[in-house]
Amino acid sequence: MRKLIYFCLLIGLTLNLKAQKNDLIPNMYSFKLLVDGINDSLKADYLARALEKQNLVLFASFSQISDYGYIIVSDKSQISNVASYINLTLNNYKLLEYEELPLTKNLFLEVYSLRSNNANNICKNLPKYIQLGPKNELSWQLYDLAKSIWIEKCKQEDNSSKDLSN
């Protein structure tokens, strides 16, 4: 009887941990931003880290090639604070426009890969771990999510390309 109780507790705990891990994307929202003033990798990285440091976003990444980027937030209303911060606090940056995008697994992987300058060849290499300042737990959660999406997506693409070559 005792073994049955322990087994049930183990199953319940495992399912609870798995559910917590998978609930990360439904609790997040994404926006695509067009920002004037991003013309190199240092400025793109600075803007992303500044938004994260001010706790305005959970995660941000900006393209060093074009003036667009993405932010991931836990509350949609946070976008007004992000806009104010970019336009009023940061020098040499100007938020031109933004739009909300549905946060899908593919978009999350693209955003995560853009931060590590790997957006063009997402399936070529496993995503790199990105440390978000002192936010260790969030850093690992986002990395684990990016890695699991990468494995799911890139394994399917790898298998489909092998099928075509045979």
| pLDDT of 71 strictly over 70 | yes
| pLDDT of 23 strictly over 60 | no
Helices and strands per DSSP (H, E), number in the chain:
5, 4
Q: How confident is the model at residue 70 (pLDDT cuts 50, 70, 90)?
A: very high
Tokens 């990016």 — which residue? Answer: 146
Give phi and psi for 64, each to the nearest 5: -85, -15
Q: Under DSSP, is residue 100 helix (H, G, I), strand (E, B) or coil?
A: strand
SS3 content of the chain, % helix, strand, coil (to 5): 55, 15, 30
Q: Which of 75, 111, 81 is nearest to 95 (CA)?
A: 81
At 76-102, the pLDDT tens digits run: 889 999 999 999 998 889 999 999 999
Rg of the chain (C-alpha set): 19
Q: Where are the domains of the chain?
A: 25-161
The predicted model scores a pTM of: 0.74
Cα separations in angstroms, 131 against 19, 84, 93, 159: 24, 25, 24, 31
Residue type, 80: S
At 120-157, the pLDDT tens digits run: 677 887 888 888 888 889 889 989 999 999 998 887 66
At 24-62, the pLDDT tens digits run: 577 889 999 999 888 888 888 899 999 999 999 999 999
